[in-house]
């Protein structure tokens, strides 16, 4: 087998970021040996830890180093220590800058219920019978999170505003990601908007409908965001690919994650042009449990699997990790967020070790 090499920007971040990334790197090191592939890690600080070290959440030098790598592997960013920083100085803003500077306009979040974790889902068994296997495709570097905003005093009254806006091209490129993803899945796209109220949503709907004509094998339906939020818990099996904008995707993907039992189980990746991707768990830095060795590292471990699959074309190695996670769950090991009566409670490090043993 030929030996290959990849350069990975490793950004553990804040809170539980460090703990869960440490576990995922152990797995990557074993994969490296097993699949004769060298991973060169470039350790970088972004977020609160970067403010502490360099006075800003994302430095030019860090951004440059991220660009020079083949992929970016991120833990989580932010925490109460830096909550007093305002606007552009906040750690979370660094994440938005990172995504936009790297041109990562599509965020893909698969939501699948592991058979072994069905009992951890808050949904009734009858709603899980047909399975949940959803891919949320969220636009990541446009919309209200990047639109014009401000706080002003008008006629003596304090007022704040944020602007939702999309260009035709921005909608077009994310729509293609959704339809292409659907072609590899069950060939259904549900595009979610608020076209009954918002102009930006009417443009969204028009462009998505137009793009759909290039994918005649994919069935497209449109749904309003309020209905979608309800349908996700009423009948989640109706969804295959959900295509939506930045803010609706942010909210819906967290809702979808809970259907699977825990936010600590779900990985995501963000892509633009080419194979460069940013891989991260969907949860935040969980300051309430940081440093206690109780965080679930599986979302971060599954993010590593995604990186192998999508950026490095190491599909077999990715499957190896996914199967290892399934085996550990099948044997009854659970971190506290997914623990139920009768299962064996383990900590962050122990969960990492157990997955490692299965590879």
Residue 309 labeled ligand binder: no
Nearer to ligand NAD among residue 295 and residue 324 (C-beta): 295
The active-site residue out of 145, 166, 276, 310 is 145
Q: Is 87 annotated as a binding residue?
A: yes
Torsions phi, psi of 336, nearest 5?
A: -60, -30
Residue with tokens 């009954």: 196
Give min distance, CB of 222 to ligand NAD, in A. Answer: 28
From 194, 276, 279, 310, active-site residue: 194
- d(CA 78, CA 92) in angstroms, rounded, equals 6
Dist CA 27 CA 303 (whole Å): 11
Q: Which two tokens stand for residue 290?
A: 């940081």
> Which of 250, 309, 320, 337 is flagged as catalytic?
250
Q: Which two tokens stand for residue 190?
A: 């549900």
Identify whether 199 is a catalytic site residue. Answer: no
Q: Cα–Cα distances in Å, from 330 out to 5, 72, 341, 355?
A: 33, 30, 15, 12
- Minimal CB distance residue for ligand NAD: 284
Q: φ, ψ for residue 96 (rounded to 5)?
A: -65, -40
In the complex, least distance from residue 279 CB atom to ligand NAD, rounded to whole angstroms: 11
Write out the residues near ligand NAD by the rule CB under 6 A: 16, 76-79, 92, 95, 263-264, 280, 283-289, 295-296, 299, 337
138 is in an annotated binding site: yes
In angstroms, give the least distance from the CB of 135 to ligand NAD. 18
Is 199 labelled a binding residue? no
Catalytic status, residue 226: yes
Structure tokens at 183: 């072609």
Between 62 and 190, CB nearer to ligand NAD: 62
Residue closer to ligand NAD (CB basis): 26 or 205: 26
Query: Residue 82 annotated as binding?
Result: yes
Set 41, 133, 187, 254: catalytic member: 254
Q: Which of these, 58, 76, 72, 57, lies nearest to 15 by C-alpha position?
A: 76
Buried b (16+ CB within 10 A) or exposed e, 43-70: ebbbbbbbbeeeeebbbeebbebbeebb
Question: Which residues are tagged catalytic?
Answer: 145, 194, 226, 250, 254
**Binding region:** 79-92, 99, 109, 138, 226, 250, 254, 284-296
């Amino acid at each position: 087998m030929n030996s290959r090499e990849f350069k990975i920007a490793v950004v553990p971040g804040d809170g539980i970021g460090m703990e869960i990334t440490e576990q995922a790197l152990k797995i990557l090191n074993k994969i490296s040996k097993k699949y004769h592939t060298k991973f060169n890690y470039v350790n970088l600080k972004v977020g609160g830890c970067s403010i502490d070290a360099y006075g800003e959440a994302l430095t030019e030098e860090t951004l440059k180093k991220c660009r020079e790598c083949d992929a970016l592997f991120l833990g989580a960013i932010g925490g109460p220590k830096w909550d007093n920083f305002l606007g552009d100085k906040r750690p979370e803003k660094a994440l938005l800058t990172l995504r936009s500077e790297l041109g990562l306009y599509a965020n893909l979040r698969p939501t699948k219920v592991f058979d072994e974790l069905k009992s951890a889902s808050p949904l009734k068994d009858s709603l899980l019978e047909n399975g949940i296997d959803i891919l949320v495709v969220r636009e990541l570097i446009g919309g209200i999170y990047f639109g014009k905003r401000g706080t002003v005093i008008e006629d003596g009254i304090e007022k704040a505003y944020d602007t939702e806006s999309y260009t035709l091209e921005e909608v077009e490129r994310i729509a293609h990601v959704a339809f292409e993803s659907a072609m590899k899945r069950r060939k259904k796209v549900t595009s979610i908007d608020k076209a009954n109220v918002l102009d930006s949503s009417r443009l969204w709907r028009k462009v998505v409908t137009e793009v759909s004509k290039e994918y005649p094998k994919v069935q497209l339906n449109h749904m309003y965001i309020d209905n979608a939020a309800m349908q996700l818990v009423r009948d989640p099996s109706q969804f295959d690919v959900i295509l939506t904008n930045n803010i609706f995707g942010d909210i819906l993907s967290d809702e979808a994650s809970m259907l699977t039992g825990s936010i600590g189980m779900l990985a995501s990746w963000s892509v633009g042009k080419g194979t460069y991707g940013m891989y991260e768990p969907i949860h935040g830095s969980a300051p309430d449990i940081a440093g206690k060795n109780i965080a679930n590292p599986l979302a971060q471990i599954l993010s590593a699997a995604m990186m192998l699959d999508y950026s490095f074309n190491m599909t077999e190695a990715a499957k190896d990790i996914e199967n290892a996670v399934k085996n550990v769950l099948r044997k009854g090991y659970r971190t506290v967020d997914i623990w139920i009566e009768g299962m064996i409670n383990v900590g962050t490090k122990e969960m990492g070790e157990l997955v490692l043993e299965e590879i």
